[in-house]
Amino acid sequence: MLLTFHNLQQTQSTLYTLLFGFICSVTWLCPVSTGCSHDKIKYASFKASPTGAACSTTTGEAAACSTLCSASSLCKIVYVTTCDANGQCTCAFCNQLTGIDFSQTNAVTFFNFQLIGVNTRQIHLAGGLVIGQPLLIMITLEDTMVSLNFMMANGRVAFITEIRFNERSVVSNSFLGYWGAEDRNTPHFNFQYGQKPWVFCVVNSERYDLYIDQVLFKQFPHRVPPSQVVEVTIGRENSLIKTFRR
């Protein structure tokens, strides 16, 4: 599994261009020698600095870093800090993500995601949400109000975030038999009808950190354990979950 470094003999300038250029799309990674199918392993990469748990660090070729990650089914993060002109890199790989800083642009972070849903309004989560396992979701904004709902088995809503064009606001809450206190923090409202924003959700032990197109919109404390969230749905009539990865 190569971290997009198909030629480790490239010049330093070219290598840094590959490393530090923002890649919001999914990158397919697989070493030619293994012959593994490209539908088996997927990474998404971001120009960002993560905080992780159960991490270890190594120095070596990028291919070695990714191979060590791929050897563990629990490895969710490959964090590439620096690479020199000879292709020697300092890498960390972690089993959990506890936070991420998209303003730190001197590093690239690769996430080992699985694609579990496309063009749908409902995603079933076997085993519920897992602390340390982030979510990467692309949604469409085709309604006046669009809600992303983290649902419990009893139909209650552990966490809802609603983009409201009529109010130009983004509102979060929970419904556990009654509505809780609203979080109306809205850093900006630059959304447009038809837009397809990326939602990146960090699930740590205390709260959800919800980013929309790399901007932190919500830090929402858990009102029920994340493991009780067994489904993610999108509200209203026309909007969709275009892709869902975790």
* Positions of E strands within 84-239: 88-101, 108-113, 115-120, 122-124, 135-139, 145-152, 157-164, 169-175, 198-203, 207-212, 215-221, 229-234
The CATH number given to whatever domain includes residue 184 is 2.60.120.200
- Report the C-alpha gap between 38 and 221 in whole angstroms: 37
Question: Are 79 and 171 members of one domain?
Answer: no
- Could you give the percent of the chain with pLDDT greater than 90? 57
Confidence at 85, pLDDT banded by 50, 70, 90: confident
> Does 176 share its domain with 232?
yes
Please tell me which residue, 159 or 70, carries the higher pLDDT value: 159
Residue 14: predicted pLDDT:
34
Q: Are residues 217 and 197 in the same domain?
A: yes
Same domain, 237 and 120: yes
Any alpha helices (H) in the chain, and if so which ranges? 12-20, 62-70
Q: Which of 21-35, 106-120, 123-137 has the highest mean pLDDT?
A: 123-137
pLDDT tens figures, 160-171: 999 999 999 999
Compute the average pLDDT of residues 84-100: 87
User: Domain limits at 58?
Assistant: 12-113
Looking at the structure, tell me whether residues 102 and 200 fall in a common domain.
Answer: no
Query: Has residue 46 got a pLDDT over 60?
Result: yes
Q: Do 85 and 142 belong together in one domain?
A: no
Q: Is residue 67 part of a domain?
A: yes
Asked which of 60, 94, 113 is the last residue of a domain, the reply is 113
Instruction: Please determine, for residue 40, whether its predicted confidence score (pLDDT) is greater than 80.
Output: no
pLDDT at 198 over 90: yes
**5 found inside a domain:** no
Q: How many domains does the chain have?
A: 2
Q: Would residue 108 count as lying in a domain?
A: yes
